[in-house]
Structure 1
Amino acid sequence: MKFKREVTHVIFFDIEYYVPKEYRNQPGLKANPYLDGSFVIGGVFQRYFPIEDRLEEKEEFWIWDMEGRDTTEQEKNLLEKIYLYFRESWTRWELLGGDPRLTEPIVAGFGITRLDIPVLFARSQIHRIAEPERLYDTYFKLRHFDLSVTSAPMIPENRNPNVLAPVSQNWAVKNLLRDGERKPSGTTVWELYDVEEYKSITERTRGEVELARRVYQELRKIRNGLPGRP
């Protein structure tokens, strides 16, 4: 992997996805981008340049801020803005990087490989935000740093030591940041949206992105304290 000042960066992000009431009692992951009546609510995004240890300001995109006659049009406009945000990262890599061997933009967050990235790709494809090949390049050629996976080897497991598996955000935060406060499930966002508690949704999502940044930096600190390779 190859890195470069002012080009190599991590995007910490978290999106919120709406699941209609009739699908909320299904087992397992309830968010499915092909369910009727489901849509992207919005998200918070923040670029971090690790070589310089520099953060850009957070950017937010929310469906209630979008123009449109209905939720369908609003979601399409929302996805266009999110897509352009990621394309801006690719433009930096292409124009400022000047080297095709340079490591691609990195995205980091909890569960992003299971939910956020697939949902953005699928919903953007449904709305024809760009050609499928372009959407795939934009979202799946990023370097995915899923904190649910990368945190797992750093956390002791006493009950099932033979199983190495992704961990929840709460478990990672509790063990890595020594924060015992349990964060509410992401499913609470659906209920908040139903009663138009938009401020609570934005505050929650900002907090998710902040936690992702802190866990990332804690993992880096642990990695840097490991003995060097022989």
Structure 2
Amino acid sequence: MSKQMKLKVNKCRIVFFDLEFYVPESSRVKTGLCYNPWDKKCKLLGGSFLVANPENDFQISEGEVLKKTESFWLWDFKDERELLVTIYELLKKALLVVHNAHQKRVSPLLCGIGISSSDVPILIELFKRYQILSNAEAFKFQSHFRVIDLSQLAIACFNNSNEYLYPKVKNDLLRKYIPNKNFASGKSVWNLYETGKYGEINSRVVEEIAATHALYKYILSDYRKFKRLEKNDKTNFKLEDQVS
């Protein structure tokens, strides 16, 4: 961002989101990501989205976070394409708010846990598969966003005993910052979907958005502590240097 460009924080947007998928037994594997956006037997069930204003939406209660979170589910739409168009329009709206306020020189943020290797590329592939965007348009659309993946952002908040800085999984973050919270694997959603327990899927994902919002704040607080410690260390070093 240019030095002449003033960041209008009230016109910035952070899209916290989490998607859920259904994978039929024939496509399931023991390890790794089972869902494939090009496997027609698999389904995008939908997800929950909190489009947060960083000036106003980090002082609100968990209850307010839950109220502000929007959810879009396959069972409420005609088909998967219609669901995806709704998600695309939500992302496009956030993009336009940020771009219009900053001459297209600042991007909205997509925030979640593990989304850089799953949810984000999956959405882009689905936009292409359902011809919501052409290949070229999908690439351009994705490039207009920036991704804050908490699984990577939080690496510096843990002790790392070797040189392999591996991203932290969701429950690593919860154990550190919100120890009373725990979420089962996304694979548990398959059974909920098969048994028609749609309300439980929605409740689970909305709660995950609230947890992600809280984790973002905890990690940011840790980063600020690190900077204060760094500042204090520099001050003490200068004082010691003057005394010597």
Per the normalisation by structure 2, the TM-score is: 0.83
The residue aligned with 1:61 is 72
The residue aligned with 2:103 is 99
Q: 1:141, CA displacement in angstroms?
A: 2.7
One-letter amino acid of the counterpart of residue 202, structure 1: N
* Structure 1 portions without partners, runs of 5+: 68-73
User: How far apart are the structure 2 equivalents of 1:152 and 1:30?
Assistant: 25
One-letter amino acid of the counterpart of residue 112, structure 2: G
- Residue 108 of structure 1, aligned match among 108, 111, 115: 111
The residue aligned with 2:195 is 195
The residue aligned with 1:29 is 33
Q: What is the SS of the residue equivalent to 2:164? A: coil
- Aligned positions of 1:118-137 closer than 5 A: 118-137=121-140
One-letter amino acid of the counterpart of residue 100, structure 1: K
The residue aligned with 2:88 is 83
Q: Give the conservation status (yes or no) of the 8 Å contact 1:17–1:41.
A: yes
Q: 1:180, CA displacement in angstroms?
A: 4.8
One-letter amino acid of the counterpart of residue 6, structure 1: N
* Structure 2 portions without partners, runs of 5+: 235-244
Q: Give the conservation status (yes or no) of the 8 Å contact 2:99–2:107.
A: no
Which deviations, in whole Å up to 9, do the C-alpha atoms of 1:16-51 show, x marking residues without a partner? 111111122343221221223112100100111223
One-letter amino acid of the counterpart of residue 210, structure 2: E
Q: Which has the larger radius of gyration?
A: 2
Q: Does 1:147 align with 2:150?
A: yes
Q: What is the SS of the residue equivalent to 2:118? A: helix
User: How far apart are the structure 2 equivalents of 1:28 and 1:5?
Assistant: 38
The structure with more helix, counted as a fraction of residues: 2
Q: What is the SS of the residue equivalent to 1:113? A: coil
Which deviations, in whole Å up to 9, do the C-alpha atoms of 1:196-220 show, x marking residues without a partner? 1101100111011111101101111
Identity %: 26
User: How far apart are the structure 1 equivalents of 2:69 and 2:147?
Assistant: 19
User: How far apart are the structure 1 equivalents of 2:102 and 2:16?
Assistant: 24
Q: Give the conservation status (yes or no) of the 8 Å contact 1:117–1:140.
A: no
Moved more, 51-60 or 139-148: 51-60
One-letter amino acid of the counterpart of residue 195, structure 1: T
The residue aligned with 2:219 is 219
Moved more, 142-151 or 86-95: 86-95
- Aligned positions of 1:9-24 closer than 5 A: 9-24=13-28
Q: What is the SS of the residue equivalent to 1:133? A: helix
User: How far apart are the structure 2 equivalents of 1:34 and 1:28?
Assistant: 16
- The number of equivalent residue pairs is 219
